[in-house]
Amino acid sequence: MASNKILFVTSEAYPLIKTGGLGDVAGSLPAALKAQRQDVRVIMPAYREAMRKAEKLGFASFQIEGIPETVRLLEGRLPGTSVRLLLVDSPAHFDRPGGPYADPDGHDWADNAERFAMFSRAATAVALNKAGLVWQPDIVHCNDWQSGLVPALLNQYPNRPATVFTIHNLAYHGQFDATKFQSLKLPEYLWGVDGLEFHGGLSFIKGGLVFADMISTVSPTYAYEIRTPHFGHGLDGLLNHRADRLVGILNGVDYKQWNPAKDPHLKHAYDAQSLEGKARNKQQLQKQSGLPQRTAAPLFGLVGRLVEQKGIDLVLSIIPQLVKADAQLVVLGSGDKGFQTELEEAAAEYPDHIAAHIGYNESLAHQIEAGADMFLMPSRFEPCGLNQIYSLRYGTAPIVRHTGGLADTVVDTTDENIKQKTATGFQFEHATHEELWWTCERAISIYRDQPKLWQQIISTGMKQDFSWKQSAKHYLELYQLALDKLGGKAARP
Ligand code: ADP
Ligand code: GLC
């Protein structure tokens, strides 16, 4: 494909700021697009934490059309890459402690509608070359509700770039009170069920779903699932209506960051040929988690947001069985206060078997991937999921529910797959205590009684290649489709 100018609009990007997988994707997909000879620039809010971590920022623009004078565009590079970075510096909205969406206590910022409307307006101005950059993108690639207003705002301009909207998680709508529609002074024609209205409120995500030239989500299975009522979060009707615009592209991962042979967060490097380092990392993880350093105990790991989506209640429900089976579990995560407390209580009750690290810790996330034998991801839904892909590379067999990207990346240990030597982990169908526990038992018994088969499963997993190259090519095809759709629209009378 010819070289396109792409504006990649995101609310987080590793290593500047990250709350979950979107940060990983925005930190690595743009570089993969650049490697495909695309002229890509990332635009993100200038959060205080991101400003601290960004290197060598300069002023790109002092005035953005239609935006108050206090807002400026800063320019730099996404650290560790040669990708150009634009930061929307609106101190009133973004220069504060805490995360991108919530305050340090985990409560959503009360002015999130204003914050991301401002961000979307600035991105829209850049997209229309009205920000003094002398650069007009051909494609604007938006991600999740925080940039959902961009395709809606751009839609009114005849010479606009093509728009792509990627759903990383349909559960988060960016839903606000209808009065915000007025106070944000959004164009009148955007109101209504064919616009941004959703059950009487204002929905940012609908901006992307209704107006983008093409829509994608982060795995083929999730692309199918979200068109059903069970996974559609009330938007399945709209997604079916736009089904000819919807595709699923599996996320890639950045093996520069996630490679046990060269991981600066690990004390002991290892690879598929020599797993000695993995055993040492396990001991290290047990020590650091206050668990007895027992080589033979199957060690389960879990890293993630502690929310309903991730099936944390199911994990809590199997703790007595895990203890009885003499297995160990190390959890790292933050989120729902109830889950946090229950995990801490379980750790206090079973100090030899359960360890709970509440909080966000990049190094520990890598150490759990390396030190655990199995990785738990019993998600109720999972658009893609990155941790199970990291687990595969770290020789840590993923135990996952058959949904979304988990279904697309993990090959279940069935008799057939064992014979074919394709098994890489364990899958189960229904989000129930029983099915999760049976699956864990299945994994534990192979781990304990069939070490050769265990080796085969993890070494097959370690050989899987989910690097970005292939997926980046699919995004190029998606961009072409968006350009074609836009061209078709312009040609119509
Ligand atoms: P989601 O985006 O739904 O949170 P993913 O599996 O796609 O799930 O991505 C989660 C990313 O966030 C992974 O890189 C994971 O290691 C990281 N992560 C989640 N919680 C934590 C935490 N408490 N500490 C460190 N990293 C975390
Ligand atoms: C979301 C999803 C996760 C996905 C990530 C990156 O947060 O929950 O499954 O991997 O976005 O696309």
State yes or no: pLDDT of 333 exceeds 70.
Answer: yes
Residue 321 CA to residue 135 CA, distance in Å, equals 59
310 Cβ closer than 6 Å to some ligand 2 atom: no
How confident is the model over 260-274, as a mean pLDDT?
Answer: 97
Question: Given ligand 2 and candidates 22, 166, 172, which is best to mutate, with the most ligand atoms within 8 Å of its CB?
Answer: 22
Residue 23 CA to residue 478 CA, distance in Å, equals 21
Residue 405 CA to residue 216 CA, distance in Å, equals 13
251 Cβ closer than 6 Å to some ligand 2 atom: yes
Ligand nearest to the CA of 387: 1
Separation of CA 3 and ligand 1 centre (Å): 32
Write down the pLDDT at residue 1.
61
Question: What percent of the chain is modeled with pLDDT above 70?
Answer: 99
Write down the pLDDT at residue 64.
87
Domains in the chain (CATH in brackets) are 5-252+469-487 (3.40.50.2000), 276-465 (3.40.50.2000)
9 Cβ closer than 6 Å to some ligand 1 atom: no
383 Cβ closer than 6 Å to some ligand 2 atom: yes
226 Cβ closer than 6 Å to some ligand 2 atom: no
- Reported as a pLDDT band with limits 50, 70 and 90, residue 384 is very high
Ligand nearest to the CA of 377: 1
- Reported as a pLDDT band with limits 50, 70 and 90, residue 106 is confident
Separation of CA 241 and ligand 1 centre (Å): 32
186 Cβ closer than 6 Å to some ligand 2 atom: no
* pLDDT tens digits for range 173-206: 999 999 999 999 999 999 999 999 999 999 999 9
Residue 327 CA to residue 286 CA, distance in Å, equals 12
Sign of CA dihedral 482, 483, 486, 487: negative
Residue 185 CA to residue 180 CA, distance in Å, equals 8
Q: Taking the model in full, what pTM does it have?
A: 0.96
386 Cβ closer than 6 Å to some ligand 1 atom: yes
Average pLDDT across the chain, whole number:
96
State yes or no: pLDDT of 491 exceeds 50.
Answer: no
Report angle CA 223, 259, 77 to the nearest 5 degrees: 75
Q: Determine how β-strand 139-143 pairs with β-strand 5-9.
A: parallel
Separation of CA 490 and ligand 1 centre (Å): 41
DSSP code string of 62-80: S--TTS-TT-EEEEEE-TT
Radius of gyration of the chain (CA): 23
Residue 224 CA to residue 231 CA, distance in Å, equals 9
- What distance, in Å, lies between the first and last C-alpha atoms of the chain? 29
384 Cβ closer than 6 Å to some ligand 2 atom: yes
How confident is the model over 31-40, as a mean pLDDT?
Answer: 97
Write down the pLDDT at residue 287.
98
How confident is the model over 412-422, as a mean pLDDT?
Answer: 98
Write down the pLDDT at residue 492.
37
Ligand nearest to the CA of 394: 1
365 Cβ closer than 6 Å to some ligand 1 atom: yes
Contacts of 160 (CB under 8 A, 6+ apart): 127, 128, 154, 486
Q: Which helix (H) or strand (E) holds 473?
A: helix 468-491
Crossing angle for the helix pair 112-127 and 204-211, to the nearest 10 degrees: 30
Separation of CA 24 and ligand 2 centre (Å): 9
142 Cβ closer than 6 Å to some ligand 1 atom: no
How confident is the model over 295-309, as a mean pLDDT?
Answer: 97
Residue 372 CA to residue 79 CA, distance in Å, equals 29
Question: Do the beta carbons of residue 139 and residue 187 sit within 8 Å?
Answer: no
Report the atom number in ligand 2 closest to the C-alpha of 24. Answer: 6
Dihedral in degrees, nearest 10, Cα atoms 466, 468, 471, 473:
-140
Contacts of 481 (CB under 8 A, 6+ apart): 213, 214, 247
